[in-house]
Each structure stands twice: as structure tokens, then as C-alpha cells.
Chain A
Amino acid sequence: MILDAHGHIGAWPDFLIPDPSAGGLVAMMDRLGIAAMGISDLLGVGPDAVEGNRRAFEAAAEHPGRFGVWQVYNPHHRTPLTDRPGVWGVKLHPDVHQCRLDDPLYEPVFALGLPVLAHGQTDSPWSDPAQFAAVAARHPEVPLLMGHTGLWPYGFARAARLVADHPGVLLEVCGSKITGRWISRLAALAGAERVVYGSDACFLDLRAGLGRVALAPLAETDRDLILGGNLARVLGGRLA
């Protein structure tokens, strides 16, 4: 079963996304054999988390079982969160919100205990992998997905090292700079059970993201873990 840990719907101001629709994602997921995707609405990542979360839940309701919702939490607005069915967890974007991942403003999120998917970016003042290690030390019981594994290739190995002793942290591998070869390397560095497939679609093309794992030089057992096994273990009963 293929599960996509990192997805979005909606437009983004920085560039043109030719197809930002939920329906377009589901049609492509059907063709590629992707069972479900965790999404946040890009409006929610941006200025309006409440409305973005409403849109994400609406898309999930329109396509039962195909979308889990990563509710966006804006630390400045203390966005209301829920643990209703269909929730996969909480999405944090420390860079967009300009609030460090290890800032106490996020403590209400980690106190909930829901899985957390956070943007991770090496050398960012907001989301450097070292901050994932710091948060994981405070909340070892919270599953924490490091989005993009730090984004920049020069930081991938360091990211894996920094969270090696924090088994609650998983390395999520979407991003335009990562390669299939690096995904294989991360599986060797961190263990395949710590690596999770995500695409970042519709922000990025779903096929390019899946292809990086599908065609990476990996053992098939490792590929299965990365493509869905690890995320299914984290989500447990949250999967519809």
C-alpha cells in the first residue's frame, strides 16, 4: 500500500501550479496506485489556517479514504485543532510562520500527541534539523516527520545523524533537490524504517516525487517500508 505523507491542495503565490485541485490529485493517485495522501491546504499554510483546514476537511469528505488531513497550526493565531476522524496530525511550517520549531508557542501542538509533519530546512533559523532533535528530546512520544529531510542535499547526512537517537523522528523525503540515489543513501544511513515517502504534490508533481522512491536503487522490502509501511505504522488507526 502506497501512502503519500506530504501533500497539498490549493494555489500558492510564489509560482503557477497548473493543477492545484483535489480531484486532479485523486485521479493521478488512482493511476499510480497511491491509496491515500496526507494533505494541507496551501491557504492554510499561508495566511488563513482556519479556512485552509476547513477546505482540507472538505476535500477529504469529498474523497472518502483518500485524504488524511494535516491540520495547519499557525502559532501566532493559536489555530484550533481537532482529533476527529480523518485527521492524520498537525502540519507546522516554521519558515512561513517565522516561528522556530523549538519555540514554546508550539507546545500546545506537541501536548496533543498527534503526529506532526513539519517543514524542515537545513540552516534555516526556523526549521533546521537540530530543532527537530531538540523537540524530539522534549516529546519523544510524538511522531515527528521532518519534511524534506532538511531540503538541501548538503544537509541530508547531518539531518540523519542529528535525529539518529530520536526514533520518533522520521525522515520525509519530498523536495525538488533530493534524488533517488539520496533516498537510498538515507535508508542506509538512518535505516529504511525511518524514511517516509512524500511527494509535496500539488506543490510539486506527484509523479516526480513517487518516481524518486519507485525507481531508487533500494531493496524491495525497504521500498515498501518507505512507500507506506512506515507511515501506516505511525498512523495506526488513523488510516481509514
Chain B
Amino acid sequence: MPFDDLPADPRPDMDRLGIEAACVTHTLSLYADPAAGNEALSALDDPRLIPVPVVVPGVPGASVPATLDEVLDWDVRLVRLCPERHRFELTGPVALRWLAAMAARDLPVAVDLEETSPAALRTLAAEIPDLRVLLLNPGYRRLRAVAELMATVPNLWLEIGTVNTQRGVEWLAERYGADRLVFGTGAPVLDDCGPRFLLDHLELGAAEVELIASGALRRLM
């Protein structure tokens, strides 16, 4: 990985920052072999680290895992898609077939905004309206486009770790509801201190903050 400051184990930082549990994807799945990463992830045995394996939809011989049925048999509550990193078409016929099957099993997916586009997400929602999507790392520079997505795609949830412009989280909560906003950090590659502090100082009611802290994600998963 092109960094030299990342801890091998996220749990000490989680302890320091008062983060009880975290959805995690394995480094190998993102920077090396998706299948090897998923295998390593499945070997974790700590309820604080909630496994989010990657799925790479594809024709036989090109997918991870090897078949859609394996995904549907996984005992996981969320999977991650990386269309850009893993070079597949999020709205191609194979991915749509896989994702429709996952939606039918009520299995939500997480995808980073930089891995896709608002247009692709709108197409996905039109094709599979029941698919629940958690949009990771939406950032702040595309707040207008992200807001349009929230307004038009009811099964879209938003991770707020990079919603980093002044009162951006409150602006989204007021319009689309705290029950669609999910605390996250992107750590250890991205910062965890700022989002954690922001969570404690949101200018929202206690019930809304609780939804963002964990309630919305619990419901999503």
C-alpha cells in the first residue's frame, strides 16, 4: 500500500476513540486479490469487526466469488462493490443480475462514490429499486449531486465521514432524515478523529445523533 503510517490492527484506535464496532473490508480485497481478502476477512473472529466482503460480479471465471450462489450463502450483512478498482460495469447485465438476486435476499451493498457515478447509481436504482445502497466517501465537493441522489433514490444511505463542509451533515439530515445517514471514517486510510469529533458535536437532537452513530446502519444491515 502506498502509505507508511497505517496500523495493522484498527482496534487500538477504535478503543481510543470510543468506537464499539466497525464494518471492515480486508486490505487484500482492495489492494491485491479480492478472494484472498475475503478469505482473510472470514477468518477474523471478533464481533467488533463486522466483515464486509467484496463482490466482483462477472461471467463464469471472472467473478469473485466464483458464483452468485456463494454470495447468497454468505452469512454477512453488507457487501462492498468496487466497480472502478475491480473493473466491472456496475449497471452491466451481469452485475444487474447479481445485484437483483442480492436485493431479493435483502442484502445491501456499499459502494464508494469515487468507484461509480451519480448517473450509474440512478440507473441502478431504476433497474433494481429494492436494492439498498450505502454510498461511501461521498465527500463534500459533490454535495449538490449527492443531495440530488438522496432526493431521488429512496433506498440510498450516505456515509458521512467525508461530508466535510460547514454544517453539511445537518443540511443533509434536515432534508433527507438522519435515518439515512451513517457514521463512518474510512480509517485507517482516511481520518477517524475528525468524523468522530463531529459526531459528538452535531447540532441535531439526541435521537438523530443516535441514528447516525449506529441506528441507521443497524437498520440497513
Q: Show the binding face of A for B, using Cβ within 8 Å.
A: 14-20, 24-25, 31-32, 153-154, 176, 178-182, 185, 201-217
Contacts and interface: CB of A to CB of B under 8 A. Distances in A.
* Among B169, B191, B196, residue most surrounded by chain A Cβ atoms (within 10 Å): B191
B161 to A, nearest CB: 9
Given A212-B191, A215-B17, A24 B196 contact: no
B70 to A, nearest CB: 36
Nearest to A217: B16
A216 B3 CA distance: 18
A31 B201 contact: yes
Interface in B150-200: 162-171, 187-188, 190-198
A179 B190 contact: yes
B73 interface: no
A25 B165 CA distance: 12
B87 interface: no
Interface in B187-218: 187-188, 190-198, 201
Contact of A18 (B139, B171, B192): B171
Contacts of B168: 18, 205
A214 B2 CA distance: 27
A32 to B, nearest CB: 7
B194 A208 contact: yes
A16 B162 CA distance: 14
B197 A210 contact: yes
B142 interface: yes
Contacts of A216: 193
A2 B204 CA distance: 24
* Among A20, A201, A208, A217, residue most surrounded by chain B Cβ atoms (within 10 Å): A208
Interface of B: 2-3, 5, 13, 16-17, 139-144, 147, 162-171, 187-188, 190-198, 201
14 contacts: A15-B140, A15-B141, A16-B165, A24-B166, A179-B192, A180-B192, A180-B194, A203-B166, A205-B140, A205-B166, A205-B168, A207-B198, A208-B164, A215-B17
A214 B170 CA distance: 21
Nearest to A12: B165
Contacts of A20: 166
Given A180-B191, A181-B5, A211 B165 contact: no
Given A176-B140, A176-B162, A208-B198, A24 B167 contact: yes
B167 A205 contact: yes
A193 B61 CA distance: 57
A223 to B, nearest CB: 12
B3 A211 contact: no
Contacts of A25: 166
A16 B171 CA distance: 11
Nearest to A180: B193
A202 B194 contact: no
Given A207-B201, A211-B196, 5 more contacts: A16-B144, A176-B162, A179-B191, A204-B165, A205-B169
